[in-house]
Amino acid sequence: MRIQEMIEKKKERGYTYAQIAELSGVPLGTVQKIFGGETKNPRYDTLQALERVFKEQMVVMESSVAYQVNRKPGEYTVDDYRALPEDQRVELIDGYFYDMAAPTTFHQLMAGELYRQISNFILDEDGDCIPFISPVDVQLDNDEKTMIQPDVVIVCDRDKIVRRNIMGAPDFVLEVVSPGTKRRDYITKLSKYESAGVREYWIVDPYQGRIMVYFFQDENLPIIYPIDADIPVKLYDGKLVLHFQRIAKWAREEV
């Protein structure tokens, strides 16, 4: 893939230089020089790393033709999502299917521990909000083109909770990064959650040893914490603090 093609896809998908650097492993300064035209002849391995950022995303999106429904990729709906076999785990985002591999025990251990802390706090406080852990369907934009399964969510408007799924944006969303979901969590879902009206979004990345906290009402985004931190949930004005020491131990053993 030529650099000009990558520049066009960068514009098309709204990627920032920082996101490309994060996903490719290429230093931010190098990315800026290449896409800005300052570096005319980048190293071959650098180009390969940058190319993977765009090619892998294309493969995920185009793989949706395999699901044998009567619409084209980009046109799939919640009805198509619900018509899939029960053992076919996907998310529907803007009319495209994205594969969801079965989560590892490591992934479930982390998500379960964080859900436990959140749930215990809400129960102890006799709170009105309701926490959920995946699998739970979230019809994020309240339209027919998106149905996702975040790892942990908190919903404070009970009218959004219907029998089959959550209708609309949760107040709080937490995603635990897996190797196969990194691009989705850092780019695709970040943009979707912000535009849909999610108030607070956490990306827990044990492979990078950090947690990124987005509180979309603040201007300074994100706040980045080490994987062993005690982190306040802004939705509860800091009264709920999630403790990551146990998760950090698990991450050291796994990564």
Task: Indicate if the pLDDT at residue 65 is higher than 80.
Answer: no
CB 117 within 8 A of CB 245: no
Quick one: tokens of 28?
């931010």
Q: How many angstroms separate the CA atoms of 88 and 119, rounded?
A: 29
- Angle at which helices 44-62 and 17-24 cross, to 10°: 100
Phi, psi of 61 (to 5 degrees): -70, -40
**Residues 179, 129 contacting (CB under 8 angstroms):** no
Nearest to 35 by CA among 53, 52, 22, 17: 17
Angle between helices 3-13 and 28-35 (to 10 degrees): 110
Q: Does residue 112 surpass a pLDDT of 80?
A: yes
Q: Which residues contact 71 (CB under 8 A, 6 or more apart)?
A: 77, 80
Report the pLDDT value the prediction gives residue 171, as an integer from 0 to 100.
97
Q: What does pLDDT average to over the chain?
A: 87
- Give the tokens for residue 17: 């230089």
Q: What domains are defined for the chain?
A: 3-62 (1.10.260), 64-99 (no CATH), 105-254 (3.90.1570.10)
Q: Please report, as a single letter, which amino acid is at residue 67.
A: Y
Cα separations in angstroms, 145 against 34, 72, 101: 35, 12, 21
Q: In the predicted model, is pLDDT for residue 214 greater than 90?
A: yes
**What pLDDT was estimated at residue 63?**
53
**Residue 172: pLDDT over 70:** yes
CA distance 232 to 237: 8
In three-state secondary structure terms, 228 is coil
What's the pLDDT score for residue 123? 96
**What share of residues in the chain are helix, strand, coil (percent, to 5)?**
40, 20, 40
Mean pLDDT of 205-220: 88
pLDDT for position 59: 44
pLDDT, mean of residues 6-33 = 82
Give the lowest-confidence range in 40-44, 120-124, 142-146, 204-208: 40-44
Query: Is residue 222 reached through a cis peptide bond, with omega within 30 degrees of 0 on the bond before it?
Result: yes
| Highest averaged pLDDT of the listed ranges 4-8, 86-90, 106-110 | 106-110
Res 154 pLDDT > 90: yes
Asked whether the beta carbons of 111 and 134 are under 8 A apart, the reply is yes
Q: Which of 153, 156, 127, 128 is nearest to 138 (CA)?
A: 153
When mean pLDDT is compared across 80-94, 165-179, 222-236, the lowest value belongs to 80-94
